[in-house]
Structure 1
Amino acid sequence: MRAHDLTEVCLVLHGGEPLLAGAGHLRDLIIALRTPLSGSCEIDLRMHTNGVLLDRRFCELFREQDVKVGISLDGDRTANDRHRRYRDGRSSYDKVVRAIELLRREYPDRYSGLLCTVDVANDPIAVYEALIAHEPPAIDFLWPHHTWDRPPPAGHGDWLKAVADRWLDDGRPVPVRVFDSIISTARGGPALTESLGLEASDLLVVETDGAYEQADSLKTAFDGAPDTGMDVFRHSIDDAGRHAGIGARQGGLAALCETCRACPVVATCGGGLFAHRYRGDGTGFANPSVFCGDLLALIGHVQERTTRAPHVLPPAVVRSVATGHGDRAAIARLGTAQAIGRRSLLAAVGATTAPSDAWEAIKRIGAANPDAYDWALSHPYVRAWAVERLRALNRPAGPASAAQRDDGLLATVACLAAARASENVTLPVPVRHGAVYFPGLGRHEVPGRGMTRVRVDAGSLDVEGATRFDAVRHLTAGTFTVALDDLDPFRDCHDHPAAGRVPAAEFARWQAFFEEAWTLLEKEYAEYAPAISEALTTIVPLDPPASGASVSSAARDAYGSVAIALPESPAMLCLLILHEFQHVKLGAVLDFADLYDKADDRLYHAPWRGDPRPLEGLLQGTYAHVAVADFWFRRTRHPDPDTAAEAARHFGDWYPKTLAATRTLQDCGALTGLGEQFVATMRRTLECWDVPDPLPER
């Protein structure tokens, strides 16, 4: 433990029946376990027992030694007595219930929960109600042990679905590990049970004779399956950890069979419990779980029920984005989640803002007309402003200055919401740099004032003292329209400086390029078009660099917008839109789903950069370059030989770099289960192309 700087280790004393050791021997064992690590590593010590011997003497010991106790109970009397009788046929139920009640009433701090093995012969609701009646801190439903050589009876998925429905209808009254794991992993969180998820197994069994073994569930596969040939007398835990059997349960997605790797719920299922994959036909454990169909049905059911909230991203949305495209429905769901995120951000800003007529109007309209409110917040740089405002509160000496500063955006949002809701209001609005800007609409010049008044009447905005209005102009291609926003005072949050007001001749060039670029995108890159047309609302023109190179950017907090310096050709504009919109999509996913461990602070090599990148930077770059490689790959089929040759050279550069980056991500060890599935899907997208061998030289 000290060698690996572990701060906590979980030790579980369990079956057979650990209470048979007696209170004195258990006390000696617990002290022997704790003493060597005192002061350097905490031990989370737990016990699993059938409860029939549990009395006050044991409970006092467990309180004295800080041991949590879980008790096995398979439901009501009928369910429990199906398998848990004494040798002479007597029921154990009453003794187990007495033990549970002793813990619950007199030692609640020792009561960790109930373990219930699923038996489809039992009534699922009766079992659930019997368990809940004992007010457990948690419930753990255990899959019975079966392999492909000894398949289970049908119906385990339906049995657990019935319990899940009742549990969800009851408002999730206690943690249930299998259901909570399904919910957690669907959002990129950890699995909470060994039987689910892609996390590396960290379980090692020490038998009473000192032998190290793998998970004891493996005993159901074949005789000797959990054996390692090692023990505490001759080998270290590190030695045991290097055993091939242990390693087989630490390989994540790559260690699963092909069927599992391609499964839509693999990030949650993880192939199921390792022992349940065994088949004695020579394939060993390289199979799906024998409960595969049950797991698929249960996981899909629980995820469907628990991702109905609009701010929760169903795994299907994340998988759709991972292909590199994202269908229209998936992007629409991202947009809905973003809308809810914007409301939360503005509420957080409002909580730091001094009371004002504008904030009162926002709250009133938001409650009475949420559609109008969402529309007023929908311009990408409203969110960028809100995020920056909240960040300012956390800077040194920031809270007072940030809270006191009024840069006018709250007031203009309130005016927009009122106009959309057809509510008549008159509000004071700060003048910023001689103008009042309404997000997405345009800028009113108001010279010589620090404040002005805006009257909203019948949906129109009248700005007192305004001498000129410059509207936000739009680029149009067929039925698709985006704003070319060169006015928003909060737009300058990209990696390159935002351009000022674009002259009319330059705007005409933008329009011509955009129309041609969109025509190309719809024709040659049609899979990307639905997502872009669903979510891209704004392009911010950037100042072109002196070098003449193409530059573009996507601001992490400005969903729906990309920033681009008008490039040399419409085809390059098409590429830059494809590239930057990848960042927009992935950023929106990362707002609501965890794809990697945010505590990972290592830097990684990105093949397209000289400087190492943090993990999110590498993930973002890799995902964006899937589209870049795809652009050049398809362009290799261009009828013009010179264009095709240039595309082949670019593809020969970008494709291997992007593919190599997916391998780096897969090898980093910091992806969540959902993140592993996301990156594996990206890699499958790249590898499914009919790529020439060898690749063209750059």
Structure 2
Amino acid sequence: MNGYHHLTSAQLAALAAGATDMAALAELGESRVSRHLLLLLPLIRGWVGDEGERDTAVSVLEAVQEADPQVFTWLIGDPMVGAWLSRTSRERTRTGDFLELGNFAAAAALRAGRDCRVTGWAREGRLVIPTMGTAVLGDDASAPVRIDVSGGAVTLIGSSGVGTTLVEGRNWWPLRQLRARWDGLERAVRIEDASPFRGGYHAAPSDRLDDDEAAVWQSRFAKAWSLIGRHLPDRATEIALGLRAVVPLIDSGDGSSRSATARESVGALGASRPTSAEDFAVTIVHEFAHSKLSGVIDIVPLYRPGGTELHRAPWKKDKRPTSGLLQGVFAFQQVADAWRCLAAEPALAEVARAQFTDLRDQVRVGYRSLAASRELTPAGAEFVAVLGAAVDRLFDEPAPRAR
């Protein structure tokens, strides 16, 4: 178990059962912040490039952390920041990845209302300021760029020495937000369609959405959030706390929806264009379940690393390692339960009952393989036993009829 962060036995059992435990979810978020900080330190110590540029960016971050620790903590915990830190710590050779520290410092200064002058990195003519947006430069070069933040305005100075102030609609793409409200519970989730670190899924991320496409996502998100709020209120509460970004994925063109969660960007989900509001609602529940379990595993090892077992999973053509099967059973148990609840929506009753019936059968098959695994740790065995009780509850009663 992680020596700094801790989940009690009751919290671990609640998470395994699919219950909403806000204290446990807060601990998962704090653990993610610690993980990112641990990745940031070796980046600073193993710096590749001009150490003066590093020290300037670090000074900005230290000033923000001291003056406004909530801003710093929120920013360092962001999924795209985590993806950047994970990639840089893994590769350790790309000067541009290290200079993204300047982009990160500029974001911290902007959010804290401070001025700064740092050196960042533009990739193929675009400079991304994490959680805020993308500057579109006049060429396709990848190069260092000085970032001046003053009074909330941003000016970029490239190798020519000429400054360019960022203006929305001309050379600045602010990150769009998917916004929705249900019964006083409001949710705003970023559309991450420009960050160079938004990949890591089984499908490639799409380029920036045009206005019409963004409007489609907004409409379906608002309807999906309404479904979640009406029929899955506990899920709505936890998703409002933990989901921060959606990464649009390239559409395969076969009419199917794709979605995924990347381990290095927990708190974000990747998805192709949702085919319907109910599809989007279930996708959000599905991928947020993966995020929760990834957070749990960061604190409490549930299976032994390097295992060689392979298991049949009804939702996959190939056999899955214990780690993958655990993720699948945990997430699909919550998806099946979501369809059970959505069957109370008259317009969805028939399709929801069919989805629920099929999925609970698949989850039971997958669970039997998981429970037989010899690679579970003692904590993992306890977690899986509680998860099994949640799977059994799917069979306690037939799918509900429409009201």
- 1:324 CA displacement: 1.9
> Any idea what the Cα deviations from partners look like across 1:215-266, whole Å, max 9, x if unmatched?
xxxxxxxxxxxxxxxxxxxxxxxxxxxxxxxxxxxxxxxxxxxxxxxxxxxx
Distance in 2 between residues matched to 1:571 and 1:322, nearest whole Å: 24
Q: Secondary structure at the match of 2:15?
A: helix
Cα-to-partner distance string for 1:253-284 (whole Å, 9 max, x where unaligned): xxxxxxxxxxxxxxxxxxxxxxxxxxxxxxxx
Whether the 8 Å contact between 1:358 and 1:410 is mirrored in structure 2 is: no
1:636/1:691 Cα in 2 relative to 1: closer, same or farther (>3 Å)?
A: farther
Within the candidate set 194, 197, 203, 1:487 is matched to 194
Provide Cα deviations, 1:514-538, integer angstroms capped at 9, x if missing partner.
Answer: 1110010011111211111001010
Q: CA deviation at 1:693?
A: 6.9
Do residues 318 (structure 1) and 12 (structure 2) align? yes
3-state SS of 2:264 partner: coil
Does the CA-based 8 Å contact 1:475-1:482 persist in structure 2?
A: yes
* Matches of 1:597 and 1:317, distance apart in 2: 21
- 1:645 deviates by 2.7
Corresponding letter in the other structure for 1:428: T
User: Where does residue 89 of structure 2 map in the other structure?
Assistant: 390
Matches within 5 A, 1:507-526: 507-526=214-233
Q: Matches of 2:10 and 2:40 in 1, distance apart?
A: 29
1:431 equivalent in structure 2: 122
CA distance in 2, matches of 1:389, 1:369: 22
Corresponding residue number in structure 2 for 1:445: 136
Summarize deviations over 1:70-106 as a string: whole Å, max 9, x none.
xxxxxxxxxxxxxxxxxxxxxxxxxxxxxxxxxxxxx
Contact 1:325 1:531 in 2 (8 A): no
Matches within 5 A, 1:113-512: 187=1, 309=4, 311-354=5-48, 355-370=50-65, 371=69, 372-393=71-92, 401-402=93-94, 404-406=95-97, 408-448=99-139, 450-464=143-157, 465-466=163-164, 468-478=171-181, 479-512=186-219
- Kept in 1: contact 2:353–2:399 (CA 8 A): no
1:166-186 CA distance string (max 9 Å, x none): xxxxxxxxxxxxxxxxxxxxx
Identify the structure with bigger relative contact order (alpha carbons < 8 Å, sequence gap 6+): 2
Report the AA paired with residue 484 of structure 1.
I
Structure 2 residue aligned with 1:673, among 378, 395, 401? 378
Instruction: Give distance in 2, aligned partners of 1:460 and 1:560.
Output: 29
Per-residue CA shift, 1:312-345, capped at 9, x if unaligned? 3344432232122432222111111111111111
What letter matches 1:688 in structure 2? R
CA contact (8 A) 2:220 2:274 kept: no
Structure 2 CA distance for partners of 1:315 and 1:456, relative to 1, 3 Å: farther
If you compute each CA radius of gyration, which structure gives the higher value, 1 or 2?
1
Aligned residue for 1:535?
A: 242
Greater shift after overlay, 685-694 or 320-329?
685-694
Cα separation, partners in 2 of 1:605 and 1:535, compared to 1, 3 Å:
same
Cα pair 1:357 1:427 within 8 Å, conserved: no
- 1: distance between equivalents of 2:328 and 2:388? 14
- 1:652, CA displacement in angstroms? 2.2
TM-aligned CA deviation for residue 589 of structure 1: 1.1
Aligned length: 379
Match of 2:330 in 1: 623
Structure 2 partner of 1:682: 387
2:111 and 2:258 mapped to 1: Cα distance?
36
Q: Alignment RMSD, CA only?
A: 2.3
Structure 2 length-normalised TM: 0.87
The amino acid that maps onto 1:412 is N
Alignment deviations for residues 631-661 of structure 1 (CA, whole Å, 9 cap, x no partner) = 2222334434xx4232222222210221222
**How far apart are 1:427 and its partner, in Å?**
1.6
When structure 1 is superposed on structure 2, of 333-342 and 453-462 the one drifting more is 453-462
Q: For structure 2, list consecutive stretches of 5 or more residues without a partner in the other structure.
A: 158-162, 165-169
Give the 3-state SS of the residue equivalent to 1:539 in structure 2.
strand
Report the residue type matching 2:126 in the other structure.
Answer: A
Shift of 1:364: 3.1
- Shift of the 337–660 alpha-carbon distance from structure 1 to 2, 3 Å rule, reads same
Specify the alignment match of 1:57 in structure 2.
Answer: none
Gaps of 5+ in 1: 1-186, 189-306, 394-400
- Structure 1 residue corresponding to 2:252, chosen from 545, 557, 563: 545
The CA distance in 1 between the partners of 2:352 and 2:279, in whole Å, is 12
Letter of the 1:624 counterpart: A
| Contact 1:434/1:447 (<8 A) preserved | yes
Check whether the contact 2:205–2:250 (CA below 8 A) recurs between aligned residues.
Answer: yes
Amino-acid identity (%): 28
Task: Kindly state the Cα deviation for residue 365 of structure 1 after the two structures are TM-superposed.
Answer: 4.4
Deviation at 1:662, TM superposition (A): 2.0
What is the rounded CA distance, in whole Å, between the counterparts of 2:351 and 2:396 in structure 1? 16
Distance in 2, matches of 1:527 and 1:460, equals: 40
**Tell me, what secondary structure is at the counterpart of 1:603?**
coil
